[in-house]
Structure 1
């Protein structure tokens, strides 16, 4: 699955790594990464995931300040949620999620998502243009920007190659 448990586990690892490097609250970052996609199947999944996370964390006995810090991270993590991250922890989660969408893993996830949703190669390439190729410029932390360099370069090379191959088929 493009947004399954393996994606969440990678985002948790990336987020904790970035949090440690950047001096963010690791506990807030880790918990928000674990819960960031729990309502992935719903429209505006970031807002819905934050609502569910609040319920879960309150049931687990976390204090309200912690709950709200985590909820903000989750609300602000998504490319399309429209919520600007206001804290370092929210920026870290946003960056970790975006990093998992570029590079070789990001390419694999894009095509898995396309298979899950019946999108063609051409429609997937449009997704590259509309979102994936823009992600490196939307990162907040120095650590994520460093990690993104190689991943973005690979994404661009793949994109250019697949565009050349598709063009070939148009010309024959």
Structure 2
């Protein structure tokens, strides 16, 4: 399996030209989270890890052409996995996980692996990394601090309650607490300017 995963990882890294808030480093962090949660939850890693590696491969296409990256990413994954003769029975499960991973998706993850991928993707938007990605994202869209703060309030502070798996809930609890403290400190600094002693 390691050789197949290396092949997939190399393909995704080569194909995904973009860096930034949804770059290859994000894919690797989500994959590591999937590995950790998947071991605890008893997931099929031959479904989960390819899904994690492919989950945002179509992000640049969404930004360039308006494609739904989860749908296009599932199609890309299916085509690629068929071309390398990956396990035929697992390909639809991988595609399902990719199609249902997105926070804004109306499709619901139905399999354990799809739930774990959805959780891992959300977890990467929480905590210290989530804060960094939020400000990176705001800059990518020409926004500033207030745009990032709005995104935190509109989305990130809601993520803790949307986890499917116990393993993800535990991680989300810690990351949510850090995020909450950050928002409180940022609000104080922006509106008060800090304390003088």
State if a TM-score over 0.5 links the two structures.
yes
**In 2, Cα distance between equivalents of 1:146 and 1:138:** 12
Match of 2:36 among 10, 14, 17: 17
How many corresponding residue pairs? 169
Shift >4 Å, 4+ stretches: none
Match of 1:83 among 97, 107, 114: 107
Query: Aligned with 2:35: secondary structure?
Result: helix
> Partners in 2 of 1:125 and 1:153 — Cα distance?
16
Report if the CA contact (8 A) 1:47-1:81 is conserved.
no
CA distance in 2, matches of 1:126, 1:118: 14
CA RMSD of aligned residues (A): 1.2
Separation (CA, whole Å) in 1 of partners of 2:88 and 2:191:
55
Q: Please state how far the C-alpha of 1:142 moved relative to its aligned partner.
A: 0.2
Unaligned runs of 5+ in 2: 1-19
1:107 aligns with 2:131: yes
Distance (Å, rounded) in 1 between the aligned partners of 2:165 and 2:136: 28
Higher RCO structure (Cα 8 Å, ≥6 apart): 1
For 1:56 and 1:81, how far apart are their aligned partners in 2?
23
In structure 1, the gaps of 5 or more residues are: none
